[in-house]
Structure 1
Amino acid sequence: MSRISVRGFAVASATAVTTVGAVVGVASGSTLPANDNNDTAAAPDTTLLADIPTGQQAQVQTASLSQQADVQAAQADASAKKDAEAAARIQAAKDAKSKKDAAEAKLKKEREAKEAASRSEARSKISYTQQSSYSVSQIKAMAQSMMASDQFQCFSNIVEHESGWNYRATNPSSGAYGLVQAYPGSKMASAGADWQTNPATQIKWGLNYMENRYGSPCGAWSYWQTHHSY
């Protein structure tokens, strides 16, 4: 909006009033008094700012508001774009981590499977002289010789709960048999035909089962503690 000098406006208004009065006086036959100070009379203030017509002022205001809206819209778009790019980077990082974790998990599973197969092959070559009976200490010694030392306690916990280290233990309800209570007991034939009388054969089968299904005896024991079965 344009600014108008208040002083200039007052002088211009007074001049206009005087001029109107003079015109009225002449029209009525009155004589205008002489103005001795005509040469020194104060001239109207000509330092007024250029006025902008009311209609144009509205146009200027509208254009200004439109320009401000455009600037704000541009800023909002830039901010939204920046946020979207940041969100995309975060999501890309998450996706990359998920892919990496999945790949590592796959490799770990494959490595564990190979190791389990290697251990199973090594166990299959272990043989013990067949006896008519075995003590608990003898059976435990067999088990310890077939697995890593950090896995024996987990294996022992399961066997203790399942059979109490009795290689001839039979569940009267289900028919589960042996140290690890295989169900049915005949499953253990895959480890040896002497599965009913040889605890070493039962241990081999039990370890293979635990490793293939739970990754290790400790993995099986962790599951057992929650479900009381494995």
Structure 2
Amino acid sequence: MSPISVRGFAAASATAVTAVGSVVGIASGSSAQPGGAEATAVGATLLADIPAGQQAQVQTESLTQQADAQAVQADASAKKEAEEAARKAAARTAVAKKADAEKAAKQAKEAKERAESKTTSASSGSSGSSQGGGSSNIPVQSSYTTAQIKAIAAQIVPGGQLQCFSNIVERESGWNYRAVNPSSGAYGLMQALPGSKMSSVGADWQTNPATQIKWGLNYMNSVYGSPCDAWTYWQANHAY
């Protein structure tokens, strides 16, 4: 190898050595040191003193060191990115869990409010019956006119719910307390199916509209919350 070639090879190798030093410095968090040109010159001088047979080995080792330094830097970057991704994923999970907890709390609150509303409606219905004398104070007759049945309903059903209650009865039976559906067998003012369910209020469910009205009010309160809630359902489904 000629002296010119050796010097050129030495300069290239020294440059690689200088680059390795810079990369290693960056990977370790240190700043680049001054005197890079002097290091290159020194490297070139030292390489020129190395026998030609060993120069290839020196160059290989220099490049290997450079590759190792780059690998260290790449590993550090990958680790940092992985940590950042894990942090973001944990944050998203925390937000989702918080949203689920808030939704569950809201649903529990709404369920509690509905239960309390039903209890209040049932209590109001009971109070309305007591204030109006209730079905127990309504004289039993062999037959009733529509006007008499409506008057009985006004004594049993709370005033604020009476119109909704009446709307349903009007469409279910036309205020006929002996009405029978020929297809299903539903019976009475409320068209209870089967009609015998009304025996839970009184054994005279077939002939006493007061018994039927009381059963209907209890049914609407327990299933829908109130007669007006039942009427809202009826308008959407034409049944309750």
Which TM-score tier does this pair reach, normalised by the shorter chain? 0.5 to 0.7
* Correspondence for 1:198 among 196, 203, 208: 208
- CA–CA distance in structure 2, aligned partners of residues 154 and 177 of structure 1: 20
Q: How well do the aligned residues superpose, as a CA RMSD in angstroms? A: 3.2
Verify: 1:228 aligned to 2:238, yes or no: yes
- CA–CA distance in structure 1, aligned partners of residues 199 and 156 of structure 2: 18
Higher mean Cα deviation, 157-166 or 120-129?
120-129
Identify the residue that residue 107 of structure 1 maps to in structure 2: 112
Identify the residue that residue 186 of structure 2 maps to in structure 1: 176
Identify the residue that residue 74 of structure 2 maps to in structure 1: 69
- CA–CA distance in structure 2, aligned partners of residues 91 and 48 of structure 1: 57
Gap change, CA 1:130 and 1:62, over 3 Å in 2: same
Q: CA deviation at 1:227?
A: 4.0
Q: AA paired with 1:64?
A: A
- CA–CA distance in structure 2, aligned partners of residues 57 and 148 of structure 1: 97
* Correspondence for 2:198 among 168, 188, 198: 188
Gap change, CA 1:76 and 1:113, over 3 Å in 2: same
* Correspondence for 1:211 among 207, 212, 221: 221
* Correspondence for 2:85 among 57, 80, 83: 80
Q: CA offsets, 1:186-225, max 9 Å, x none?
A: 2222222332333222111001112212222233334334
- CA–CA distance in structure 1, aligned partners of residues 163 and 84 of structure 2: 60
* Correspondence for 1:146 among 138, 156, 173: 156
Gap change, CA 1:48 and 1:142, over 3 Å in 2: same
Structure 2 portions without partners, runs of 5+? 9-37, 45-57
* Correspondence for 2:174 among 164, 169, 181: 164
Q: Are the aligned partners of 2:153 and 2:210 in contact in 1 as well (CA < 8 Å)?
A: yes
Structure 1 portions without partners, runs of 5+? 1-8, 14-45
Q: AA paired with 1:197?
A: T
Q: Are the aligned partners of 2:125 and 2:158 in contact in 1 as well (CA < 8 Å)?
A: no
Identify the residue that residue 99 of structure 2 maps to in structure 1: 94
Fraction of identical pairs, as percent: 47
Q: Comparing both structures, which one devotes a greater share of its residues to helix?
A: 2
- CA–CA distance in structure 1, aligned partners of residues 157 and 81 of structure 2: 65
Structure with bigger gyration radius: 1
SS at match of 1:51: helix
- CA–CA distance in structure 1, aligned partners of residues 101 and 141 of structure 2: 57
Identify the residue that residue 4 of structure 1 maps to in structure 2: none
Q: CA offsets, 1:132-183, max 9 Å, x none?
A: 5444344334434434445334323321221012222122233221111112
Gap change, CA 1:194 and 1:122, over 3 Å in 2: farther
Q: CA offsets, 1:106-156, max 9 Å, x none?
A: 423442453354245446641323345444344334434434445334323
Q: Are the aligned partners of 1:136 and 1:166 in contact in 2 as well (CA < 8 Å)?
A: yes
Q: CA offsets, 1:68-123, max 9 Å, x none?
A: 32232122222222222212221221232233134324423442453354245446
Higher mean Cα deviation, 69-78 or 112-121?
112-121
Q: What number of residue pairs does the alignment pair up?
A: 189
